[in-house]
A = this chain, B = another copy of it.
Amino acid sequence: MSDSVEDKRLKILNILRDNNEALSSQKITNHLNEQGIQISERTVRFHLLAMDKKGFTQYIGRKGRLLTALGEQELTKVKAYEKVGFLSSKIDEFSYNMNFDLEKKEGSVLVNVTLISQDDLKNSIELLYTAFEHGFVMGELLTIFFPEDSDDKIEIPKGFVGIGSVCSITLNGILLSKGIPVHSIFGGLLEIEDRTAKRFVEIIQYNGTSLDPLEIFISSGLTDHTRLCSSGSGVVGASFRDVPASSREKVIQIFERCQEIGLGSFLEIGYPGSPLLEIPVSEGRVGFIVTGGLNAVGLLAESGIKLYSKTLSGYVDFKKLVNYRELKKYFK
């Protein structure tokens, strides 16, 4: 039972958001009563007045009240615990909403957008090239966003550029579009020796975190792309996932096609019910490991380039992606 004042106010804000139009206090009371919450219209009005003062709601005359941007923000802030499942849920939601056609190479894929200062662009292009050549980066494609490319979803402030690296969730979306459901299990720090994946040294499960493990590994300074790029041994972020055992051959075929068109592939794939790099896999499933899309920018962070925003994620038309080898042409 959650009966605090704050709980009731959040429920009111939720109702306003879900309805997406002005509502009178009478209508809000009805909605609350339908949810099994015993509350009088008088009390609802009291809460609404308090929230008007805080700027969460706005009275617009006889039609009633609207949720303000501040109220919306309050709602997203407050749902900490619902965020716990966030990474797993976010991954599934992003996969489900992709519309990429692998055969026609049409539609959008998911990218992570990392902001850097425009002054760091030239230096970053060099480092990105090195990362794609020697680091464990997924595929060969990326894109650069400028402030003039800003849209609703991806906003690039003046003085910054956004590095759009293909997010490894793109591979889940492609598999799902072929009818193959993917479970994303954990993000881990993967030790690489002589360019071979050896073992996970740290693990954060997606269903127990509101923060992206791969972002955290980079921002905490736990990765070692620098050594990896120079010597072939290092530590990078990677994601452990599994698919139904019977889909193994089809998954391999799909990943071959992904590789052909520059989207990358799995780093390792296992066998039905067999552990992969010491990680147990359930009966009837096959584990696979993909490197993080963010590994493209890991080397930048380690080289002292300030990454201003961790990651914004958004869909980008596949046609806007370029091969990393072409970047140097553009930014001499």
Tell me the A residues contacting B by CB distance below 8 Å.
Answer: 1-4, 6-7, 10, 77-81, 83-84, 186, 188, 191, 199-205, 207-211, 216, 219-222, 273-275, 277-280
Contacts and interface: CB of A to CB of B under 8 A. Distances in A.
A275 B1 CA distance: 8
Given A204-B210, A216-B216, A273 B1 contact: yes
A80 B188 contact: yes
Contact of A77 (B4, B84, B199, B280): B199
Q: Which residue among A199, A203, A221 has the maximum number of chain B CB atoms within 10 Å of its CB? A: A203
* Chain A residues touching B, majority SS: mixed
User: Lowest 7 CB-CB distances: which A-B pairs, in order?
Assistant: A208-B208, A205-B208, A80-B200, A219-B220, A204-B209, A2-B275, A202-B210
- Count copies of this chain in the complex: 2
Nearest to A79: B278
B208 A78 contact: no
A220 B220 CA distance: 4
Best-buried of A219, A220, A275 by chain B (most CB within 10 Å): A220
A83 B202 CA distance: 7
A85 to B, nearest CB: 10
A216 B221 CA distance: 10
29 contacts: A2-B278, A2-B280, A6-B278, A7-B275, A10-B278, A77-B201, A78-B278, A80-B188, A80-B200, A80-B201, A80-B203, A81-B280, A83-B203, A84-B203, A186-B208, A202-B211, A203-B209, A203-B210, A204-B211, A205-B205, A205-B208, A205-B209, A207-B208, A208-B209, A211-B222, A216-B216, A216-B220, A219-B220, A219-B222
Contacts of A210: 202-204
